[in-house]
Amino acid sequence: MNDPKRTAQSASRRPDLLDPSTLSQLGGIEFVAREVVEGFLMGLHRSPHRGFSAEFAELRAYQAGDDLRYIDWRMYGRSDRYYVKQFEEETNLRAHILIDVSESMGWSSSEALPTKLWFAKHLAASLALVLTRQGDSVGMAAFHDTIVERVHARGGRRQWHELVRRLDRLQPAGKTSARGALREVALRLRRAGLVVLISDLLMDPEETLTALKFLRHHGHEVLVFHLIDPGERDLPAASEARFFDPETGDELTVSVADIRSEYRAAVVEALKEWDRGLRPHGIDYQIVDTDRPMALALRAYLRKRERLG
């Protein structure tokens, strides 16, 4: 039998086991992601660190504070300008995290519970930290009906800080259409890797499935995190409920008693439909409740990574 006191003490030492409401009170994205990942890795009882080397990637203009060892003196001789060699980590895996930032992601069923976008940004930052610590490279793209933010895949500590900076400024806006964004990402990726989609999937299922299968066709492994707010699983304990679509502005008031059972059944069937549409094509599908610990999603990533070898 579990000791509640011991369980509570364990959770206090493991931020990855804390509920999102508690996590949101700890600090900003960088701090929370570090704490979550440290707790998660502590739970694995093994080090995620692996060695990796570096290869030349590109040149960029010298900036004050750059290491003088990396100045390209040949380019200086040709152009009379200083350029710095940039190196890219030679990694085991290239990962690309795609985040839905449409208007619906800014919703929460309770003032005490962070929004779906809060969860998505912190999950993305945590995944990125695990990846970079493993010696992998990671990039990011945020989208609604178009891509609104993009970070090319690289490895290393600086890359993670850049990702956190970009994640922190993301705001919910626009309608959702994953097809264009996912196809654009697929066409831009030079090398097959892991694509992680974080979304509430309140979008056209047929076009989204087509876009995800397009990624698989181009050799990418795909992992989908379907974010679900607890208020989306069941109707509130009230006589009436008002449904509001943040992307269209449409509203509908209904009697809760009349539709509660039908609503529950419809939600269950919708989740099964996503699962049936994705898994036969080798696309991993993971439902993530936004009121549950982030460790559950990180474990799903780890299972996917272990299968990739």
Residue 2 has pLDDT above 50, yes or no: no
Q: What integer is the mean pLDDT of 218-228?
A: 94
- Can you give the pLDDT at residue 61? 79
* Mean pLDDT for the stretch of residues 196-204: 93
The C-alpha atoms of residue 193 and residue 216 are separated, in whole angstroms, by 10
- CATH architecture observed for domain 4-49+91-308: 3-Layer(aba) Sandwich (3.40)
Q: Give the chain's radius of gyration (CA, Å).
A: 21
Task: Bin 82: left if φ > 0, else alpha if -120 < ψ < 50, else beta.
Answer: beta
Tokens 């529950």 sit on residue: 264
- The yes-or-no verdict on residue 47 having pLDDT over 60 is no
**Contact residues for 98 (Cβ-Cβ < 8 A; gap 6+):** 140, 141, 142, 143, 181, 182, 185, 195, 196, 197, 198, 199
- Within the chain, all domains assigned CATH 3.40.50.410 are found at 4-49+91-308
Task: Say what the pTM is.
Answer: 0.78
Closest by CA position to 99, among listed 172, 157, 31: 172
The pLDDT tens digits for 110-165 are 899 999 999 999 999 999 999 998 889 999 999 998 899 999 999 999 999 999 99
Name the residue with tokens 């409401």. Answer: 21
What is the DSSP secondary structure assignment for residue 250, as one 8-state letter? -
Higher-pLDDT residue of 181, 258? 181
Q: What is residue 131's predicted lDDT score, i.e. its pLDDT?
A: 92
Element (H, E) at 89: strand 83-90
- In this predicted model, which residue has the larger pLDDT, 85 or 269? 269
